[in-house]
Structure 1
Amino acid sequence: MNKLLAYGVLVSLMALPQAHAASFSCKAAKLKAEQQICQNIGLNDADVKLATTYQIILHALPMGGRDAEKDKQFQWLKQRNSCGANTPCLKRAYAQRQLQLDQLLQDRVLSHGPF
């Protein structure tokens, strides 16, 4: 019985690397960049953090600023996707965009709020 339990735990642990929670459905990932994000925990974490920051910004920006930010995000996604399965390229893309969003969050959102 203990061997069966140990086997079940081992099988569950082996499945963990594929049980990521990217900001998109990994089951529906068709692009090489998306597939790489789903397979790499660091990229997956960066994707979730960036998506969360982006959503906070969208909800906090005035209506006129939202469309401009959506356009920037769309352009960034095209650039990210051009990395394909190149992990260093994807990491750089996420780091650069996260820096932009963090700066925007600081300058346009947090500095003007009632915080």
Structure 2
Amino acid sequence: MKKIIQGMLVLGSAYFISTSYAASFDCKKAKTITEHAVCDNRSINDADVKMATTYTIIRHLVPMGTRGAIQDQQIKWLQLRDQCRDNVSCLSDVYKMRQQKLDLYMDRVYKQGPF
């Protein structure tokens, strides 16, 4: 199971890297200062790809109640991310924080199977 999910992450990431998209939005349609900063900084863009891919996979592996909680957390996290504006250090920190949280959900899926 773990290898299948890891393979899905790699394939999902490869798709997004080959386009003009950050994982969660089209960079050609970036509107906010934060979105432009994500698109303009390769390491932040890569973090966005990984985070969005992990988020999408987890949403499909957990039941509705957990899914709703994860979606609510994502909305709050996006608000926090947007407060960084174009501060790359801040963006890096909030992406690391979100990825760590999503990795905890992924670890639970690895250990217990879908919730």
* TM band (smaller chain): 0.7 to 0.9
Distance 2:57 2:110 in 1: 11
Distance 1:49 1:20 in 2: 15
Moved beyond 6 Å, runs of 4+: none
Amino acid at match of 1:49: K
Matched with 1:87 is 88
Distance 1:43 1:70 in 2: 21
TM-align CA RMSD: 1.4
Match of 1:66, SS state, is helix
Deviation at 1:104, TM superposition (A): 1.2
Deviation at 1:20, TM superposition (A): 4.4
Matched with 2:12 is none
Distance 1:21 1:69 in 2: 23
TM-score (norm 2): 0.78
Matched with 2:103 is 102
Give the % identical residues.
46
Matched with 1:112 is 112
Gaps of 5+ in 1: 1-18
Contact 1:53–1:101 (CA under 8 A) maintained in structure 2: yes
Distance 2:30 2:98 in 1: 21
Aligned length in residues = 95
Matched with 2:32 is 31
Indicate the structure (1 or 2) with the bigger Cα radius of gyration: 1
